[in-house]
Every structure is written in C-alpha cells, then in structure tokens.
Amino acid sequence: MNGPAAPDSKLPQGQTEPQAEVQAESQAVPQAMPQAEAQTPSDTQTQALASEDDQAPREDDASVAIRLEDVALGYGPTIVQQGLSFAIRRSDVFIIMGGSGCGKSTVMRALTGLLAPRQGQVFLQDQSLWEVSEEARTQLLRGVGVMYQSGALWSSMTLEENIALPLEQYTPLSKQQISELAEYKLALVGLAGFGGYYPGQISGGMRKRVGVARAMALDPDILFFDEPSAGLDPLSARRLDDLILELRDSLGTTMVVITHDLDSLFLIGDDAVFLDAETHSMLTTGHPKQLRDHSEIDEVRAFLRRGES
C-alpha cells in the first residue's frame, strides 16, 4: 500500500502517467479538446494563481475537467458561497477545504447536479452543466461518481445490488456480467466477497469503501469524495487516501475531495481551493503545501497549520 504513496516524490511521477491517458481520451473525443484549450487561457485567475506554483508547465497541457465562473450558491434566502471561480485539472486530486459550515458540501452539490447555482456557470467537460437540457445533464453526470459522507448506500439492497443498480440502468450487460463487474469493483476497494451483505451489516469504514466502489460503477471521469476520512480511525482513513491515489494513478480519474483533514489533504492534494465561512467566498487556490508555507492569507495559513503560525 505504501509503494506509490510517498507524498513528495510521487507528485511529478504520478502526474505524467495519467496525462498519457488524458491524451488518449482526447483523441477519442477530438472536438472537446480545442474548446478546452481555447477557454483555459481566458480563465485569468486560475492562470495567475497556478503560475505562482511550480506547476505552471502542467497547466498548458492538462485540459480542465471542471470550471466554475463566478458561481453563487444558496438555499432560500441564505447565500452559502459566492464569487467562486476556479478550475479543476484532469487527473488532479483537487481538495475543497475550509472550516466547518463554510459550504464545502454545497459546492459539491452544485458540481454534481443536485443544486442549481444562483448565478454563474459550472462547466463540466466544457459544457455548462446548468444550461444544457435535462437529458444532456443526465448524460454529463454519468461521467461523475460521488462518494457521500456516510456512504449513502441504498439500505434496502445488498452491496452487490447497490453497485449493480447503475449498471442495470445504463449498460446493456447481462445479469451475469453485471454481477461479475460488481464483484470486481468490490474487490478494488478491498471488500471482495461482501456482495451479499446489506449496508446495515458492515462497519462505517467499509460502507465508505463500498460508497467508493458504487461511485466507480460506471467508470466515471470525475470522482467526488465528501469528507472521506470523517469518522474513520487513522488507519482506515489512510487506506482510503491510498485508495484515492491508486485509483487516480491507475485510471487517470479526476478526484475532487472535500476534507478538512490536514494529514489527508497534504498527502493526496495536487491543488486546492479554500472556502471561507465569514466572507462566504473563496480565499485562495493552490497546492496545499505551498499554501501552508507561502500563503499570504492569515486564515489559510492558520487553518493549514492547525492554528500555529
């Protein structure tokens, strides 16, 4: 498990491999790429912020998986976050961080098609998620998998059925094939043989792992994780972090992780956005370690250093 996970040395290595995959993907979908390149330079804020890190060269090649333009989010009369503009590069592990109650999960809801923004645009694979037709949105969201905080497994179904359901809905595969696929996804998260269990019969950490397996059911391009380490013991949390990295390295999946677990975000994060609860807006973006060491914003440094400055 600890092979590819040495945090500092793996950054450059880990990112060259997935990029090869991205290029292969872009050949398969040729019309998507020129658009992506045309729009990336116009996103000046990300460009400027990214050039502060040593990752600037990567920005030119890597296309953008998700882009937000001046997004405002809220429920009823309350504004949760506003003025959000950032981009998430393909095959990055992107961290959405911030204190409790700052709206991290709300941002995830907007990116996964559950909450329409008050204002602004969310681009998923260069299509505006909330301006396309509902069918097109469903289609776009098929490329997105979400692991919810508590796993959110459908409790009336076995683990295998949980993973099989999306496959039954969207693939022409036979029952036998689906069952094999479900078993394979369970094995990927280290739970081979648990297919017949119900969510109520397994532990919280296992439920989260099944949540990951289910999120990966349709081989999505983007995976979201809502607080993967919350409520887990240190070892389980670390295993989940390793799982995220291994999946990214082997599949080239873009990972968006919501967390305020510092150990975890320094270990896995390539890029991050910091959301602030006071101003209801983003304070900065950048590599988590760079932000910790060099950020000019006190709140961000304090957060990343656990209050020690």
| Binding test (CB under 8 A) with other proteins, winner from 144, 188, 213, 245 | 144
Q: Return the closest-CA partner of residue 110 out of 64, 73, 69, 147.
A: 73
Size of the site for other proteins (CB under 8 A): 24
Q: Is 92 left (phi over 0), alpha (psi -120 to 50) or beta?
A: beta
Please report whether residue 150 would count as binding other proteins according to CB under 8 A.
Answer: yes
| Binding test (CB under 8 A) with other proteins, winner from 156, 177, 203, 279 | 156
| Contact string (CB under 8 A) for other proteins, positions 14-43, x = contact | ------------------------------
Please report whether residue 166 would count as binding other proteins according to CB under 8 A.
Answer: yes
Long-range contacts of 22-27 (CB under 8 A, 24+ apart): 22/62, 22/63, 22/90, 22/91, 22/252, 25/221, 25/252, 26/63
For other proteins, the closer of residues 27 and 100 by Cβ is 100
| Binding test (CB under 8 A) with other proteins, winner from 138, 171, 250, 279 | 138
Are the beta carbons of 66 and 88 closer than 8 angstroms? yes
Tokens at 35, concatenated: 């658009």
For other proteins, the closer of residues 8 and 134 by Cβ is 134
Instruction: Give least dist CB 169 to other proteins, A.
Output: 6
70-108 core/surface letters (b: 16 or more CB in 10 A; e: else): ebbbbeeeeebbbebbbbbbbbbbbbbbbeeebbbbbbb
Tokens at 17, concatenated: 């491999």
Please report whether residue 214 would count as binding other proteins according to CB under 8 A.
Answer: yes
| Binding test (CB under 8 A) with other proteins, winner from 20, 48, 56, 114 | 114
Are the beta carbons of 57 and 235 closer than 8 angstroms? no
Rounded Cα gap, residues 131 and 120, in angstroms: 11
| Binding test (CB under 8 A) with other proteins, winner from 155, 177, 250, 279 | 155
> Quick one: which segment of 83-91, 136-144, 236-244, 246-254 binds other proteins (CB under 8 A)?
136-144
Length of the chain, in residues? 309
Please report whether residue 225 would count as binding other proteins according to CB under 8 A.
Answer: no
Please report whether residue 154 would count as binding other proteins according to CB under 8 A.
Answer: yes
Rounded Cα gap, residues 271 and 94, in angstroms: 5
Residues near other proteins, by CB under 8 A: 109, 112-114, 138, 141-142, 144-146, 148-150, 152-156, 165-166, 169-170, 214, 218
